[in-house]
Structure 1
Amino acid sequence: MENSFKYFENRDCKYYPCHEGMEHMNCLFCYCPLYFKDECPGSPEYIQKGDKIIKSCMSCTFPHEADNYKEIIKRLIP
């Protein structure tokens, strides 16, 4: 996909690819805007750290998939 307002691939980033196994990655949502949402369409894992539960998105590629732009925007607008 070509870089646009809904897709941006930054192959020059020192962290690219941040998720292994992806040939193309949308870097527009480098930090997932859905991290603080309770209902997340991705595949987060929840890790127990002492008495806290931490949401881990290390294995989730949802915000980096080009076709998910509309779904992310829909979930951000109240």
Structure 2
Amino acid sequence: MSYKYFENRSCEYYPCHDMENMNCLFCFCPLYLTDCGGNYRILENGVKDCSSCKIPHVEDNYEYILSKFRKAADSKK
């Protein structure tokens, strides 16, 4: 198993998206910032709805997610 990819087929919510080779490594949405690059919408109550986004579940997006973490951390310096 790669450290960049994990598929949790025993999860009660698996699959949470209709896609092949779903990466469960980032099961939650780690890209909580508004400049995440994902497909999201803001609900009337101000909550960010990421249910249509598949960025965290694509194996090749591991480095993309880490780059967003780095960018956010650098902006706080």
Aligned to 1:11: 9
Aligned-partner Cα distance in 2 for 1:10–1:59:
19
Count of aligned positions: 71
Please state which structure has a larger fraction of its residues in strand. 1
Residue deviations 1:21-76 (CA, integer Å, cap 9, x gap):
202111000001112x1211110111102xxx110011111110111000000111
TM-score calculated relative to the size of structure 2: 0.84
Asked if 1:60 is matched to 2:60, the reply is no
Gaps of 5+ in 1: none
Q: Report percent identity of matched pairs.
A: 52
Asked if 1:41 is matched to 2:34, the reply is no
Aligned-partner Cα distance in 2 for 1:5–1:32:
18
Aligned-partner Cα distance in 1 for 2:22–2:42:
24
Gaps of 5+ in 2: none
Over aligned residues, Cα RMSD in angstroms?
1.0
Question: What letter matches 1:25 in structure 2?
Answer: M
Which aligned segments of 4 or more residues in structure 1 are displaced greater than 2 angstroms?
none
TM-score calculated relative to the size of structure 1: 0.84
